[in-house]
Structure 1
Amino acid sequence: MTDMAQTSPEPATDVRTTTVDKREERLAQAFVALADTLVDDFDLLDFLRMLTEQSVELLGVAAAGVILIDERGGLRVASASSERAELLEVFAVQAEDGPCIECVQSGQPVASTDLAAAAERWPRFTAAAHECGFRAAQSLPMRLRKQVVGVLTLLNTEANGVEMHSAKLGQALADIATIGILQQRAIDHGELLSEQLQTALNSRVVIEQAKGVLTAHHEGLDMEQSFNLLRRYARSQNLRLSDLAHAVAERTVDVDLIVGQEAPAQAGR
């Protein structure tokens, strides 16, 4: 009897492990991309489009949409992964009905695993969702501490909701996107404040120059009197003080008209 060589079987490829690894790699890439708002060509719409697309790809949902709170406190649909999702989000904002509205108002996650069963709670939204082909929704707040900037809504075409693991990942995506949005707003606000400060400083320099022109033009004026004359003339002519100061400094306005305002007061002495 011939002995057969015993060989160890090749280790089977763990397909599930490979799939999980790839998903985690894509998640890591998504987090990095969403965190990268410190770029010169940052575009909010592209940023939010990436958020909705990554949500669909990584969380196993049919569609996703983002609603943001604007400067006046109103709600605006900022992005959606599909036309149907956008239509539903727009309808929700207009009707002020649905899990996304409750979520942005409360700052807490709002979910429905079966929208048909939530008809009494959101009658208009559930009817619109049915027309758009969506059967379940999970709305996640885009919030940093107590500041809510919007809501990320995940939509499914099957009445089984969103898996708990996916919902947690979705909240993580919403959180990192929120930080990115607030960071960019802070940068924009800082640049605006810096620009306003520089403008104010520049205006102050020009006003000082204009005061110097007036005091040089009229021997009896001091700097404070010159400033009062500039301010009075600007008000009487409905001009900004900085604009008048520029005109005086550049000699494009008749200084006698400004200094002459003092004549009536002097005559009454």
Structure 2
Amino acid sequence: MVELLAGLSENCVRLLDVAAAGVLLSDGRGVLRLVAASSERTRLLELFQLQRDEGPCLDCFRTGTPVLVPELAATADRWPAFCAAADGVGFRSVHAVPMRLQTTVLGTLGLFGSQVGSLDRSDLDLGQALAHVASVAVVNERAAADSATVNAQLQHALTSRVVLEQAKGVIAHVGDLTVEDAFRVMRRYARDHGRRLGEVAGDVVERRLAGRDLLEHARSVDLLPEE
């Protein structure tokens, strides 16, 4: 699930006319949590949005409808702290679409642009379609009517994200890498060994798998330069 949502954020950047993307999911108490981001600056901005409790992604989650902001500077009165923070990391526009199944809003997909302007209708429709596919994957259709099951599955995804962040920190420290490079090292190791990303992250955090083993594998496949 964590790898799927990370892939969602990366695919949005690859397929749509956006600079970055982030995924927020609701936990069992209805509180939004960050689960995926396509870049470190996006991760920090999404966390800032959650901490300050203001921003287009939060409004999208609360209303269950898209929040389209082609020019953030023009909405500074609505989200003053968020707009200032977004400008500081180079984002000029945001388009947030809901992740939902039927009437249940699971979270939001935030699409961040480095330029002022609206997304084309085709890009916006594709972004919403990707969010819908991810929503179906998070909670299967049969469980959609069972709120306890929905909450349990969402909580599992959020817990896995915490472990993933911890593992990225370990690998980044051991290899003197950026957090983004550490994620690529861990994901490549998981794929090449036929394992789930969450399992590898758990092994790193619990010290069943040494960070240096992942770094050596990354160098062996030319993902990182030799020391």
Q: What TM-score range do you get, normalising by the shorter chain? A: 0.5 to 0.7
Q: 1:84: which partner in 2?
A: 41
Q: Could you say which structure has the larger radius of gyration? A: 1
TM-fit CA distance, 1:71: 0.9
In the TM superposition, residue 160 of structure 1 has moved relative to its aligned partner by 1.1
What is residue 157 of structure 1 aligned with on the other side? 114
C-alpha displacement of 1:186: 3.6
Moved over 4 A (4+): 187-190
1:73 maps to what in 2?
A: 30
TM norm structure 2? 0.62
Q: Which residue of 2 aligns with 1:140?
A: 97
Please give the alpha-carbon distance, in whole angstroms, between the structure 2 residues aligned to 1:137 and 1:163: 13
Match of 1:112 in 2: 69
Q: What root-mean-square deviation, in Å, do the aligned CA atoms of Structure 1 and Structure 2 show? A: 2.1
Give percent identity, aligned residues only: 45
Matched residues in 1 for 2:142 and 2:33: separation?
17
Change (3 A) 1:70 1:185: farther
Whether 1:54 aligns to 2:17 is no
> Which 5+ residue runs of structure 2 have no aligned equivalent?
153-227
Q: How many corresponding residue pairs? A: 148
Structure scoring higher RCO (CA < 8 A, sep ≥ 6) equals 2
* SS at structure 2 position matched to 1:111: strand
Structure 1 CA distance for aligned equivalents of residues 76 and 149 of structure 2:
42
CA contact (8 A) 1:69 1:75 kept: yes
Write out per-residue CA displacement over residues 176-225 of structure 1, whole angstroms, 9 at most, x where no aligned residue.
Answer: 110111119949949x9xxxxxxxxxxxxxxxxxxxxxxxxxxxxxxxxx
Could you say if the C-alpha distance between residues 184 and 131 of structure 1 is closer, same or farther in structure 2, counting changes exceeding 3 Å?
Answer: farther
Alignment counterpart, residue 127 of structure 1, candidates 68, 84, 87: 84
Query: In the aligned structure 2, how far is the partner of 1:162 from the partner of 1:77?
Result: 23
In the TM superposition, residue 161 of structure 1 has moved relative to its aligned partner by 2.9
Unaligned runs of 5+ in 1: 1-43, 193-269
Question: For residues 169 and 102 of structure 1, what CA distance do their matches in structure 2 show?
Answer: 21
Q: Is the 8 A contact 1:112 1:136 kept in 2?
A: yes
* Secondary structure at 2:115 match in 1: coil
> Quick one: which amino acid aligns to residue 117 of structure 1?
A
Measure the CA separation in 2 of the matches of 1:163 and 1:155.
Answer: 14
- SS at 2:49 equivalent: helix
Q: Structure 2 CA distance, aligned partners of 1:54 and 1:176?
A: 13
Q: Deviations over 1:136-189 (max 9, x none)?
A: 000000011110000000000001132221011100100111011111994994
* Shift, 1:72, TM fit: 1.5
Separation (CA, whole Å) in 1 of partners of 2:77 and 2:64: 22
Does the CA-based 8 Å contact 1:156-1:162 persist in structure 2?
no
Q: Give the TM-score taking structure 1 as reference length.
A: 0.52
CA distance, structure 2, for counterparts of residue 66 and residue 123 of structure 1: 22
Residue correspondence of structure 1 range 184-203 to structure 2 within 5 A: 186=143, 189=149
Aligned amino acid, residue 54 of structure 2 = D
Summarize the alignment of residues 168-183 of structure 1 with structure 2, pairs less than 5 Å apart: 168-183=125-140
Show the 5 A alignment for 1:17-32.
Answer: none
Distance change in 2, residues 1:183/1:158 (3 Å): same
Residue identity matched to 2:102: R
- Inter-partner Cα distance in structure 2 for 1:160 and 1:84: 20
Residue 26 of structure 1 aligns with which residue?
none
CA distance in 2, matches of 1:185, 1:173: 20
Rounded to whole Å, the distance in 2 between the matches of 1:71 and 1:184 is 18
